[in-house]
Amino acid sequence: MTSEVLPEGQPKEAPFHVKHSPRRQQFDRGEFDSGPVRTPLYEPRVSRETTAAFPKPASTRIIVIANQKGGVGKTTTAVNVAVGLALGGMDVLVVDMDPQGNASTALGIDHRPGIRGTYEVLIDGDDVAWHVVASPEAPTLKVLPATIDLAGAELELVSKEARERRLETAIDAYLAERPTDYVILDCPPSLGLLTVNALVAAREILIPIQCEYYALEGVSQLARTIEIVSRGLNTRLEISTVLLTMYDGRTRLSPQVADEVRRYFPTETLATVIPRSVRVSEAPSYGQSVITYHAGSAGAVAYLRVAEEITQRAETRTA
């Protein structure tokens, strides 16, 4: 078995204990080995055991996870931060805004064509509560799923009244009846109307940036879009968090990129970084977060720390 190596400064223990699921127990192998045998299992997940709870926010924090650049760990971050927060005792709602529905997949939610979810909320004006589904990942985690139907929403929204505010209206109505600690919005890798709806509905932005060449590519364009949205549609919107992903401490590049990002976002960048991890990549294929798939892996430990850091940071603005 290959022992895992955490990047310098990373914690070696999670902030609380999470049981491995029955599925995970069959594949308890090294972090960087060839991976599990692909035998599908369908036993229910083992629910969490916590030894510590995160502090609850004074009001609901609505966080959009956005980056125009693809492949930076946007959905992975949305899923694992949401699970980490829920396992820390938070009531969490994930809104899947990506037609690919990857967040829904990773959280164990059915999103076949015909399943009602984000599309119906945006286009038909359905209540969010009608279509949210409890995730098996954590008792207090709910998901509004996305299906391929959402791919046509960009064009359909153009002719809709208040097209940029339809998600905001729906989420506000949901929160008025169902108090929630965190709402996590997972966006597609584009700056179309789906992402604009998420930016208008949110109060904070979390930007994942991979520790590779051209790390800040696309961030400047995203910053311009954020400025336009905050000036004309959502004055409360701010970049509150930047997360470094795919960090490999064995290379020179990752520390160099991390330093560059920290110079660009000195106060927003989290202390915790997400290491490159086979487990992080494997987990979605089993409909799980890395936290429940392999709780002791470097990626799981790091994402739990990220969730903890987020709860310890004050809101940038009052919702």
What distances in angstroms separate CA 16 from CA 45, 61, 89, 192, one per listed residue? 17, 22, 11, 38
Distance CA 301, CA 15 (A): 8
In the chain, what are the domains?
Answer: 52-206+232-239+279-312 (3.40.50.300)
Taking all residues of the chain, what is their mean pLDDT, rounded to a whole number?
83
Q: Is 1's pLDDT higher than 90?
A: no
The pTM for the full model equals 0.82
Rounded alpha-carbon distances, angstroms, from residue 262 to 273, 308, 314: 12, 20, 19
CB atoms within 10 A of CB 45: 20
Secondary structure element (H or E) that encloses residue 243, with its range: strand 238-247
**And the tokens for 53?**
């709870």
pLDDT (tens digit per residue) in 236-266: 999 999 999 988 888 888 899 899 899 989 9
Q: For residue range 116-131, what is the model confidence (pLDDT) as tens digits?
A: 999 999 999 999 999 9
Mean pLDDT over residues 141-148, rounded? Answer: 95
Structure tokens at 187: 């966006």
| 9-40 pLDDT per residue, tens | 444 444 554 555 544 444 444 444 433 333 33
Cα torsion 301, 302, 308, 311 to 10°: value is: -150
